[in-house]
Amino acid sequence: MKKLISPLDLTTGEIDQLLALSDQIIADPAAFAHKCDGKILATLFFEPSTRTRLSFESAMLRLGGKVLGFSSANSSSAAKGETVSDTARMSECYADIIAMRHPKEGAATAAAAKIRCPLINAGDGGHQHPTQTLTDLLTIHRLKGRLDHLTIGLCGDLKFGRTVHSLIRAMMRYEGIRFVLVSPKELAIPDYIREDIIAAGYPFQEVESLEDAIGEMDILYMTRVQGERFADQAEFLRLRDHYILDAAKMERAKPDMIVMHPLPRVNEIATEVDDDPRAAYFQQANFGRFVRMALILKMLEDDEETGSLIPADAVELGDCQNPHCITQAEPSLPRLYTRSEKGVCRCVYCEHEYQG
Ligand code: NCD
């Protein structure tokens, strides 16, 4: 596998292998200290990041490799108008593997489409964030001992929260999973994710009250309201403190429920919850480095090409109406869509429905 854009690019067998390898690295990190000697990771971060970029860099350094890259669009040629595809083509001359974060949805697909070097999507706007999902899966596997037969509550900004979209896609392939989606209507999950859950036949509820639903959950995955993705700042201010998990709400939860959060936290988890043994978010952040070490190792080892990122039956239509789509920023990209069995056309980059 040479490109990781969405968790669905990994089979469940490959996920099992990555989690097993992460366990081995946690148990004996010294055994992996030279596995990537002589290799270079490029971190192309067009959008702010603390954990994801530093954990990628730390992962490569702890494997014996080296890192180069940039941490904001202003310090790259994007500021001069270069396309993500051209930046990626340059970077593969200088590095063996690329991790890229970008504020536009579908940017990773556009960047990866024309390069041979492995590329990892480290977050593309409000779309997908597969390595956070691997971090989440490692956390669930280590703290709950299984990835199946779990009721998972996801709470907060389910519309723009890319970690939520990727986690749902990943969990949708295990037995006995039930989703409780807690959000105000304005921040409900996008249609393409809801359709995925329905097509896979998994039970889910969409509710507004965290208090009422918390007692059923084995995992509560809190998220921040993504202020940077709102067109209307007044709407953001109205919604940002909609959910605050505090000690009183935790009293209603199962004694073995775990609380996860991709971080950064803003107000949505009161600091008093940090001392509750069920709070798992700082452990979760720590697991991120190990699973990224495992991923870098596997992707550098594996010679098998990912199939074309642009499906052969994609058709060219008009502009994608999603204002956050990479095609809105890059006029030279072809406007390509795939048609689902139900006849719905979705943008190959951001997956939003073509309105015609
Ligand atoms: C998340 C992200 O960037 O999507 N953070 C992370 O990667 N750990 C969540 C967020 O920014 O809210």
Q: Catalytic residue positions?
A: 51-52, 80, 101, 129
How far does the centroid of ligand 1 lie from the alpha carbon of residue 342, in Å?
32
Two tokens, residue 205: 């509820």
Cα(41)–Cα(45) distance, integer angstroms: 12
* φ and ψ of 177, to 5 deg: -90, 140
Identify the pLDDT of residue 2.
Answer: 86
The DSSP secondary structure of 134-168, one letter per residue, reads HHHHHHHHHHHS-SSSEEEEEES-TTT-HHHHHHH
d(CA 237, CA 162): 20
Residue recorded with tokens 């590329």: 119
pLDDT (0 to 100) of residue 307: 67
Residue 127's CB is within 10 A of a number of other CB atoms, namely 30
**Cα 265 to middle of ligand 1, angstroms:** 9
Look at residue 337 in the predicted model and tell me its pLDDT. 97
- Distance from C-alpha of 353 to C-alpha of 346, rounded to nearest angstrom: 5
Three-point CA angle 254, 255, 260, nearest 5°:
75
The C-alpha atoms of residue 326 and residue 329 are separated, in whole angstroms, by 5
Helix-then-strand count for the chain, H and E: 12, 13
Q: Which of 133, 135, 92 is nearest to 112 (CA)?
A: 92
Residues contacting 151, CB < 8 A, separation 6+: 177, 178, 179, 180, 216, 217, 218, 219
- Ligand 1: list residues with CB < 6 Å: 51-52, 123, 129, 132, 162-163, 224, 262-263
Greatest distance between any 2 Cα atoms in the chain: 56
Q: How far apart are CA 248 and CA 64, in angstroms?
A: 46
Encode the chain (356 residues) as per-residue pLDDT tens digits. 689 999 999 999 999 999 999 999 999 999 999 999 999 999 999 998 999 999 999 999 999 999 999 999 887 888 888 999 999 999 999 999 999 999 999 999 999 998 999 999 999 999 999 999 999 999 999 999 999 999 999 999 999 999 999 999 999 999 999 999 999 999 999 999 999 999 999 999 999 999 999 999 999 999 999 999 999 999 999 999 999 999 999 999 999 999 999 999 999 999 999 999 999 999 999 999 999 999 999 999 987 766 678 889 999 999 999 999 999 999 999 999 999 878 899 999 999 999 88
- Compute the distance from residue 262 Cα to the ligand 1 centre, in Å: 6
pTM > 0.85:
yes
User: Six-digit token pair at 230?
Assistant: 């709102």
Ligand 1 pocket: which of 132, 166, 267, 269 to mutate (most atoms within 8 A of CB) = 132
Question: How does DSSP classify residue 307?
Answer: P
Q: Which ligand 1 atom minimizes the distance to the CA of 52?
A: 7
Ligand 1 site-directed mutation target among 49, 50, 121, 163, most atoms within 8 Å of CB: 163
